[in-house]
Amino acid sequence: MSTERIKARALEIGFDLVGISEARPTLEAAFYPEWIELGFAGNMSYLKGRRGDMRSDPRSLLPSANSVISVGIVYNTQHPYSTDVDFNGQGWVSRYAWGEDYHHVLKRRLQALVDILHKDLGAFETKICVDTAPLLERAYAHRSGLGWIGHNTCLINQQLGSWLFLGEVLTSLSLECDNPAAFRCGSCTRCIEACPTDALVPTGELEGPAYALDSNKCISYWSIELKGSLPESARAMMGEHLFGCDICQDVCPWNRRAAVTKADEFQPRNALPNLEEVASMTPEEFDRCFGDTPVERTRYRGFLRNVAVAMGNSGKEQFLELLYRMTDSPDPVIVEHALWAIDTLKDKIAVSKS
């Protein structure tokens, strides 16, 4: 089977992009230890240590690897961006978390591709990777020609935009490689200027990435990865974000005419949750609503914490009663954030009436 036939098979399965690169360390791998050293990984210990070291070379995951097959699939749907929404008692869930957990979708399709390759080519070694594997997937997607890593640190494709899920098949097959995609952000800094927390910081690198994400300043990190209490300095900046943040992608010019998926798996189930409704959820109701979506990662406690903060930032007096009710929670983290939200909301109401 030719390399072009492998790509055709991937597209037939439902991937929107496919490219191939050599299974060796990338330029981005040289900057990764510095990113860790700068403390930009925050409390995400799984990005550090041995698993962090493994990310620089695919052969640490599959010693026989010769090639990396990188794939991309669009998850964007025909719904407004967060920067276009007038939040009226609602909270924002990041676009990628609207549908079925993408890990499951990608693994199913990657397994289908591997099964086809084994059927046509016989025995060889493979390893399927999604973003839970210690691999710098954007670096290999860039090297495989799928797109470039933008100033917002996302992979951007010239035709499709940046709303892409990425996956990889590491293989012992020696395949014809693609050329890396050209960098096309130019001097545009809209994502950097739009970030409400200044999380995109210049690196000073001449050959590596021009900007890096400081997770410690990122709304996505606060709302998803940071467990327990949120820093008080972060709470007001979270706005109505319940899970993740899309601002640096929403404002990107390459997403003005971004591709839209028709895949049922990625259609929104609860894209703009009503804050009153989700604040009253039991743990069982949370599981039923979000159990097979990426939102489940926050767990019930983290989600209710974020809901309390969003209600405090909303300026809506109607949420005071709910917030007082949340102070009866047996969970001290939920109580702490409900009390903060009550004080914040009262201040906002007082200012609006003065």
Please provide the DSSP assignment of 140-172 as one string: HHHHTTS-EE-TTSSEEBTTTBS-EEEEEEEES
- Strand (E) or helix (H) holding 72: strand 67-74
The residue written with tokens 């978390």 in the block is 97
Collapsed DSSP state (helix, strand, coil) of residue 245 = coil
Burial degree of 206 (CB within 10 A; 0-12, 13-18, 19+): exposed
The β-bridge relationship of strands 164-171 and 67-74 is: antiparallel
Q: Distance between CA atoms of 235 and 252, rounded to whole angstroms? A: 25
The residue written with tokens 């050599």 in the block is 22
In 3D space, the residue among 36, 19, 30 whose CA is nearest the CA of residue 56 turns out to be: 30
CA atoms 189, 213, 90, 308: torsion sign: negative
Q: Residues with catalytic annotation?
A: 131
Q: Which two tokens stand for residue 265?
A: 């798996």
Backbone φ and ψ for 22, nearest 5 degrees, come out as -75, 145
